[in-house]
Structures are given as C-alpha cells and as structure tokens.
Homo-oligomer: A and B are copies of this chain.
C-alpha cells in the first residue's frame, strides 16, 4: 500500500465544509490559519508517511499532558495514583465540582486539575523545570529543535484564573505542595510546547513500542507503565468525546486545542493529525474525521 498516497486520498475525502471553530481564548491560537492541515505517521520499524503541513510547528497544548505525565510516572511509579486518579471524569476539563466531591483528588491526569497535580509532583524533582522538560522531550526522538512558544506561554499565564482556582482548591485539600506561581509557570510552558506532526509522531512512538523509543533505542518507561499511559489516553484523552473517539478511531489518543491529535496502535504505529478548527467538544473536527477514515481504511483499531 502506498501510504503517502492514501493520506492524500483521505484528505481529499474530508467533508467539504469544516464546521469547527479555531480556539480563541488566547490571541496566539485565534490567529492560526484555519486551513492548515498536516498528518504524519511513523511505524515502530520507522517507516514514515506524511501529507500537507506535516513539518510545520503548532501549539500542542494539552497533548503535552501526556509528556509531563510520563515524566512524573517515571519518578513516582504507582505512588503517583495516590494523588491523581485514572478514571474518566464525565465533566468538562476544567470543572471544580468533582474535585469537591473527591476531596481534591482529580479524576485523571488529562483534565486540567490532574495535569496541575502532575506539574506539582514534577517540581519536587526538577531543578530547572522548563529545561528539564525540554531535555526529556528532546530525548524522546533525539530532536533538539523542539522548544516553547514563549508568546503562547505568556498568554496562557495571563489567562490562568481558573487553573489558579483549581490549584488553590486542591491545596485546601492538601494535594498541592509547591507555590502556585511556580506550578502555573511550569504548566503554561508545558502547554506552549510547539511541535510539528512529524515531531509529535516520533516523540510519542515509544507508547506504541512498549515504552522504548525505536528511534533512539532508549527505554522511556516500562512495558507495564506504557500500558497504563495508553489506557489513560484511551479513556481520558479526548475530553468528553472519549467514547466517540474509541468507536470512530479506536486507538488511544490525545488531543489539544491547538488542533492536534496524536493516536497510536500499540505494536504498530503512531499518527498525528493537525487541523486547527475544533468541534464543540474541543477536538479537531478534521482531525477526528481523518483518523476515522484512516483506521477504517487501514483496518486496524484496538476493538
């Protein structure tokens, strides 16, 4: 099968009208060209396929939560789950209601509250959080060009009221230990990581390969931990559309409001799509449609 050709055919098959809307809570996201479209796939034996704007960097936003989670899980192992759950939430990504019922323990690390706890955990270990995070990201596929978009990070910091509330609320239950500004500073850098589809696919490939990056040969996490990370992505990675994604795409995945979606078939490949307009659940409209076609065509899903 000529996969590159397939990618272009699938792109041509996308619905003519993109009913999504570009995220606009910060100006840097609102200004992105809504017609951008990129896709990149890489197999565990390192064949790569791509189409469109696959080498153009974009704001990966919440996709980065998987990276910080991986770093924290490396350091805390099972202890981590005392501070953040692994179950889907059934509520919006930034809700405080469930936190109140659950005494400050976020339902999972993919909602904002959980990602903030993960950042709080990491601050206990990292001497230079941003640099250490970049070093980790660079090590995943040996790509040292990846960096933060500092303008995005600054905008995120200026729009942190709800996240600040989440931090203080969890602190009141004893589930936050570092200064709020340090946590937010780190968290906003994390969300402001900029990568292309190609960089994302390569960097997430260890999750399709039992925790070992096929590119660098380096073991990132154990096989069992990989399973846990994939399970969390499967159940909690697509905001309140996990069930829909599981059916339509059938792969563990993680989306971001920058319009990116990473998905992977364990043992096989990792694929990233980027198209900025989001559906009403906050996931890339074309990204969902493309991945659905792709897995239907390729015939692989975990179900």
Contact = CB atoms under 8 A, between A and B. Distances in A.
Nearest to A281: B87
Contacts of A85: 243
A268 to B, nearest CB: 12
Contacts of A301: 227
B234 A303 contact: yes
A60 B242 CA distance: 27
A286 B292 CA distance: 37
A285 B266 CA distance: 28
A185 interface: no
Interface in A143-184: 161-162, 164-169, 171-172
A300 to B, nearest CB: 10
Contacts of A55: none
Given A97-B100, A247-B228, A87 B241 contact: yes
23 contacts: A86-B244, A87-B242, A87-B243, A87-B244, A88-B88, A90-B90, A90-B98, A90-B107, A96-B100, A108-B243, A161-B172, A165-B167, A165-B168, A168-B168, A169-B169, A227-B247, A227-B303, A231-B243, A231-B247, A231-B303, A235-B235, A235-B243, A302-B302
Interface of A: 85-91, 95-98, 100, 107-108, 161-162, 164-169, 171-172, 226-228, 230-232, 234-236, 240-244, 246-247, 250, 252, 266, 301-303
